[in-house]
Chain A
Amino acid sequence: MKKFLVHLFLAVPVLAAPLPKARVYEGLWSDYFRIEPALHTTGIMATRLTVNEIPREEPSWNPYSVIVLANVDVLAFKEPRLTRLKEFVANGGGLVVLGGECAFTRGGYTNTPLAELLPVDFPFMHMIPRYLDGLALTRAPGATWLPTVTGSAAAFYVQTLVPKPGATVQMLAGDKPAIISGNYGKGRVVAVALTAMGEPPAGKTAFWDWPDWPRVLGAAIDWAAGNAQPSDAVSALKPLTAEELGDFGMGMKTPENLVKRALAYPSADVAQTLFTAPDSKFSLAQVLPALLPFAKPDWGPKLLDRTGALNPNKEDRQAAWVLLGASKWPGGVQPLVAALGDAETRVVALDGLGLAGDASVIPHVRKAYEAALNAARLPGETDRFDPDSFGMTHAGVASAAAVALYRLGDATALERILYLHRHVKLYLRVYNNAGRRELRNWADPVGQAFLKNCYEHADRLQVAFAKLRVRREPIPASQVPVFLKIAAAATDYDDADWLALEMERSPDVNWQPLANAKDGTIARLARSAGTK
């Protein structure tokens, strides 16, 4: 089930971003650096993950222009990442390293590629020097890119970093270098000696409470990102040729890597060939993303047949429901509405109805949305849901309904999506976090059942979350006015993230009205689009 739905909604190319993109690794107390406000102030899109979430196999960093290590030690960020990081920067990427008990000398950076990359040396110290009265932060005399700052702020535990030749001190803490920048190969690196430790005495403001701090850190990340343009990985696969498609269509020969190549290079011809291929070759679910943009009304009757009980393949049946809607065959709408009544087909019927484009079904979809949330709501609560039923069922239904309403032009859809986006994200985080529990006794069946339950819920919520975030098509024209209104005023970071994604995949819309949006990412995207 999960695999199918992930195929449906995740394997979707995202349009190239006009903004810098950061991949942020967050260690202990990194929240004190106010990275998220810094990113949103400056207008940098980011993928953030904590040290506990660093994947065993790191995905490509091609989509990113800058890497941020926020108090992360080499036990968490270890080889081959460190060598890859060196290559990333040497080839033009950016790096920002923030201080703390897990950074520089305390983070075990000595004698690693990080020591070579960084524009500073760091003498061994077991304890980070403390300054209980605080060291005042000032713009260094030779600062180049650091913005002018106002007010005063202090740091209390400051690591000792010695600038290498050619490095530039951007900010001082007392007379200690606090922010130092330099180049490595084609890339740019920033070292921040400040740590999030200590507490300010009366009358002093810690730098993390300083209103200017997000601008300072944002500037550092932005400078490190430079002009590096993120790019998607180039597929090693080749498109299917007309000859291969012809042979395949006549049942003569199945091209090598047919499904992968079809997904990598979808086209109307590919879609038609796949759709008319013998049923037994593969299920519709496997090639759904390659078919969806090219579904046609004349596929409708055959698709309706494939939704029936005679089709033994459940995934195929479900994909047929989605395609039935995407085909926009008029005869498909009523069966799709009827399919809302069946728990097994409800989500795919909502997907199909959203793609069918018939606004007359909006009441049915709204009803499904409300029913799902009402069923999950805790008694007497408005925004709190039973995690079990919300995670396993209702989040998926509500998300599918919200996206369908959005596609159908419902005026309330965007708010519903943002509402769900916030809540599904929270429940997903809670289940992911619960699933990281270590059992004291791994033979304990109760503990194992608990973890299995967590994984199942996290999988379902991940699918719902992906459905909310990742669509193939740009914003529906009917949603633009509502979008502009909401995006201009958005201040919630989760909302802004979603809105920025939508802007990113809709480059043909005039986003100029959002040039002064409250959120820096939205505003920068709007300005960037306007200059194209």
Chain B
Amino acid sequence: MIQPLFVLALASLIELGLTDHGTTLVADPAASKGEAVAVQLGESNLWNLAESPLPPGLYRFSIALRMMLPKDYDSSRLVVKLKLTHRDRVLVDLPVDWTHVDGRPGAYTVLTREFSTTEPVKPVLTFEQTIKPVGKGQKPRPVQPGKKPTLDEELPVEKLPAHSAVTLASITDPVVLLDKVELQPVTDSLVIERVFPEKVHVYPGGEANPVTVTIRNFNPQPATATVRLTMQTGLNEDSAPQEQSITVPGAGTATCRFDWKSGAREYGVGAKAELLLAGKPVHTLTDYFSVSTPIWKTSLQGSGFLTWAGREKDLPEHVESNRKNYINVEEAFSWQPSSWTDLNPTNELWFSGQCDFHNSRSGLDLWIGLSHNNGIKMITYNWPTCSGAVGFEWVRRNPWLSSRNAIGMGKNYDVEDFRLWDITSSRPEFWRLRQATWHYVWVNLGMLRAIETVVAEIIQSAKTFGWDGTRFDYPPDGWGAWDAADEREQFAEMGVTNLMAQLLPEYYGIKTGQWSGVATSIRNIRYIQHRFFTERGTNFAISYNFGLPEKDLVNGVVPSNNLMFAECCKHGGQIMDEAIRNSRSWKGYREQALKQAGAARMCGGFHECFPAEAASFRAYSAIFTFAAGSHPYTDYGWGKSMPGAYTAFMTRYGEYTWDNGFQPIPPDDFTIDEKILWKPYLRARKNQTVLQLISPPLDDNCAPNPGVSTPWITGLTVHKRGTAPPTVWRLSAEPVVQCEKLEARREGDGYTVTIPEHRLWTVLVWEEAQ
């Protein structure tokens, strides 16, 4: 029987006492009982939450708070840390910044976390704060330095008479108002501690992904229960459940494993485990993975920009972090001896030609091996230059396959550096003296043999290291027109005449004059795709850092003459948009993401965005990327605290923004609060219409930004004209993954649903019978 153990409303808090570190009782009508404790920033405080130890078990902790900061206060730099600790052990770590809280005036935000303990604990609530460094080019606004009491200091316990509450208006210092704290036991017997699909991503068509469920027993006596596993896809497509009986030793854990193999169904899968005691479910836990080919269809790409040297020691933690954040593909950035011409080092140690990153064979094997064990696909970066000493040696041997300047080869080379290359790279004592150089010569992308060079290097490297794909950080276009006779001569020289005749039926007949730049670009792309898919299979993922200029996008439509962009998108190619990282306004970011992703989707491809690098409200990079049907490249801040579980959400429900089957439709039938941004994101697939409701940031500047929290909305209504009764699903990542069916009620000329709480981003799937 689950009973609330300890509820600390305001009165209870007063029983604990105000500390003597800048706390004040405040009369606040918005607080649950009209009063809250104001904690002055610059101070740190500790409260004992339990007079007697809590027994082992699973608990739910929640706290309601409100930030009350002066108008010019730099809240974007303030991170409040609420921790629940027992001696040196952290039970709950709850970093809170302005992006997590409800921006409505006077609103309190309730934050909830679960924690478990296998030993009796006396939780202590700790209030701390950290100040983020000032961003590049920004001037600091006033922030009070903090002073922390140590755990050795005696915790002051002092009752504060109720009549001493001050008014809100009298508080001028920056404070956080604490309303109520709750600590509730969930169970003290058995609990699902972990649901773990072996892989975070699998390909369709029979790839195994067993799910392990771990059960913990808090009681000292052994216990027997039933574990039921249901695999969920779509909105309500549940597999037939599998059940296993399990006996868990006293004060210990036991696991059970359920086999599963992918079928044809793609996108997110929820592995939902239920714990049954005497046939009744007592606890449920779900974890997610995705199924797709290519990986780009469901990709959440991590950051392969690792430590310059010594990365080996960080790799297990790095991959674990990726897995925790549902990252399912990662690019090894500039790891190779030469960006284009050597991806097959034979030594144990080497330095990348581009920027001198230190690498080792064992480190690369470890990184890729650990990632693959978790279903995380690994792709290799490439860039069309011959880099470093080995790259320049390739140029020396193949001067016609590289580019040259009008005079010389540019000044970007260093004879002495090349002379010292082998010495400084083979002697660790010199490593720190050789970082951050990049000597390069461009390859001549007009020469098919230069394209074959990188293709052959990547294929061999994939055989050696296990790459699942590659990203062309510069699109391998043909640079310009080429003489038709030269084209045919090089095909003959390479022995690919018949192949090119098959791959390029529309151009191959041109025997005189010139092949246009478009023709040579398409030649390159088709040759690359052919070689990779033939040698590595059609799961091999190819990405191109590419963006269409504004003039080439007319209302999101790719003009028919932009054939290279379309060619890149064919066969599951991905367009990666790096330029968007420089966005300074959210309007600019979201419009570019929409246009570019729309163009890629229209061409049958996939799209990927860099986050807005300057952004202080990082969650909006994620929201605008996902809402556009695009995918994230590199770290958006997942590992840090975000107001939503966005990567988990997209792993499970990404289908409803990513599937290219969803096409834009006019918004005429819907009526929604005008403050909500939704019209550009309205898309439909068969009988499903997906609405994405976004509360845009109040400050459109990505940064600098004083930190204006977005107001949440309760009771948001959505109305659609129509006569067919719909089924409406609300999907949300905020604060955790949610999917619920909303009641659609007949109103006027259609149906209306009410969303109980909308924070930043809500996805509605509106299904109507066809």
Which A positions have Cβ atoms within 8 angstroms of B?
A: 26-32, 50-53, 73-76, 101-102, 106-108, 126-128, 130, 157, 196-199, 378, 384-387, 426, 429-434, 436-437, 439-440, 454
Beyond A53-B416, A128-B399, whether A102 also contacts B434 by CB under 8 A is no
Contact between A430 and B413, CB atoms less than 8 A apart: no
Q: Measured between C-beta atoms, what is the minimum distance from A339 to chain B in Å?
A: 31
Docked CA distance A168–B128 (Å): 85
B435: A residues at CB distance < 8 A: 437
User: Could you list some 10 contacts between A and B, CB below 8 A?
Assistant: A74-B407, A76-B408, A108-B408, A198-B397, A430-B420, A430-B430, A431-B433, A433-B433, A434-B434, A437-B437
Contact between B429 and A28, CB atoms less than 8 A apart: no
List the A residue with the shortest CB-CB distance to B424: A430
Docked CA distance A98–B399 (Å): 17
- Give the contact-size bracket for chain B: 20 to 34
Known pairs A32-B396, A75-B407, A433-B433 / 16 extra A-B pairs, C-beta < 8 Å: A30-B415, A50-B414, A51-B411, A52-B416, A75-B408, A130-B400, A157-B399, A196-B396, A384-B427, A384-B429, A430-B423, A430-B433, A433-B417, A433-B420, A436-B414, A454-B433
Interface residues of B in 281-325 (CB under 8 A from A): none
- Asked whether any CB of chain A lies closer than 8 Å to the CB of B409, the reply is yes
Contact between B400 and A52, CB atoms less than 8 A apart: no
Q: Measured between C-beta atoms, what is the minimum distance from B341 to chain A in Å?
A: 14
- Asked whether any CB of chain A lies closer than 8 Å to the CB of B261, the reply is no
List the A residue with the shortest CB-CB distance to B427: A384
- Asked whether any CB of chain A lies closer than 8 Å to the CB of B419, the reply is yes
Contact between B423 and A426, CB atoms less than 8 A apart: yes
Interface residues of B in 422-446 (CB under 8 A from A): 423-424, 427, 429-430, 433-437
Docked CA distance A431–B434 (Å): 9
Docked CA distance A403–B437 (Å): 37
Q: Measured between C-beta atoms, what is the minimum distance from A85 to chain B in Å?
A: 17
List the B residue with the shortest CB-CB distance to A106: B408
Beyond A52-B414, A433-B417, whether A386 also contacts B407 by CB under 8 A is no
B420: A residues at CB distance < 8 A: 429-430, 433
Contact of A106 among B404, B415, B437 (CB under 8 A): B404
Contact between A199 and B397, CB atoms less than 8 A apart: yes
Contact between B414 and A102, CB atoms less than 8 A apart: no
Contact between A387 and B404, CB atoms less than 8 A apart: no
For the complex of A and B, 5 pairs with smallest distance between CB atoms:
A108-B407, A73-B408, A434-B433, A50-B415, A102-B408
Q: Measured between C-beta atoms, what is the minimum distance from A440 to chain B in Å?
A: 8
List the A residue with the shortest CB-CB distance to B434: A434
Beyond A426-B423, A430-B433, whether A107 also contacts B408 by CB under 8 A is yes
Instruction: Give the number of A-B contacts (CB < 8 Å).
Output: 96
Contact between B409 and A102, CB atoms less than 8 A apart: yes
- Asked whether any CB of chain A lies closer than 8 Å to the CB of B658, the reply is no
- Asked whether any CB of chain A lies closer than 8 Å to the CB of B392, the reply is yes
Contact between A127 and B400, CB atoms less than 8 A apart: yes
Instruction: Count chain B CB atoms within 10 A of each CB in A26, A73, A106, A434 and give the residue with the most.
Output: A434
Docked CA distance A509–B340 (Å): 58
B399: A residues at CB distance < 8 A: 101, 127-128, 130, 157, 197-198
Q: Measured between C-beta atoms, what is the minimum distance from B398 to chain A in Å?
A: 8
Contact between B436 and A437, CB atoms less than 8 A apart: yes
List the B residue with the shortest CB-CB distance to A31: B419
Contact between A197 and B397, CB atoms less than 8 A apart: yes
Contact of A28 among B406, B409, B436 (CB under 8 A): B409
Contact between B404 and A433, CB atoms less than 8 A apart: no
Docked CA distance A75–B411 (Å): 8
A157: B residues at CB distance < 8 A: 399
Docked CA distance A73–B411 (Å): 9
Docked CA distance A259–B342 (Å): 58
Docked CA distance A384–B397 (Å): 34
Docked CA distance A53–B417 (Å): 11
Contact between A386 and B409, CB atoms less than 8 A apart: no
A436: B residues at CB distance < 8 A: 414, 417
Q: Measured between C-beta atoms, what is the minimum distance from A436 to chain B in Å?
A: 7
Q: Measured between C-beta atoms, what is the minimum distance from B186 to chain A in Å?
A: 47
A28: B residues at CB distance < 8 A: 392, 409, 413, 415
Q: Measured between C-beta atoms, what is the minimum distance from A202 to chain B in Å?
A: 15
Q: Measured between C-beta atoms, what is the minimum distance from A293 to chain B in Å?
A: 37
List the A residue with the shortest CB-CB distance to B406: A108
Instruction: Count chain A CB atoms within 10 A of each CB in B415, B423, B434 and give the residue with the most.
Output: B415
Beyond A75-B408, A107-B408, A430-B420, whether A387 also contacts B413 by CB under 8 A is no
Q: Measured between C-beta atoms, what is the minimum distance from A422 to chain B in Å?
A: 12
Contact between A101 and B408, CB atoms less than 8 A apart: yes
Contact between A52 and B434, CB atoms less than 8 A apart: no
Contact between B433 and A29, CB atoms less than 8 A apart: no
Docked CA distance A473–B392 (Å): 45
List the A residue with the shortest CB-CB distance to B433: A434
Beyond A127-B400, A197-B399, A434-B433, whether A73 also contacts B407 by CB under 8 A is yes
List the B residue with the shortest CB-CB distance to A435: B433
Docked CA distance A527–B353 (Å): 47
Q: Measured between C-beta atoms, what is the minimum distance from B389 to chain A in Å?
A: 11
Docked CA distance A31–B406 (Å): 24
Q: Measured between C-beta atoms, what is the minimum distance from A327 to chain B in Å?
A: 41
Contact between B411 and A29, CB atoms less than 8 A apart: no
Docked CA distance A78–B435 (Å): 30
Docked CA distance A31–B435 (Å): 24
Contact between B404 and A126, CB atoms less than 8 A apart: yes
A53: B residues at CB distance < 8 A: 416
Beyond A28-B415, A197-B399, A426-B423, whether A101 also contacts B433 by CB under 8 A is no
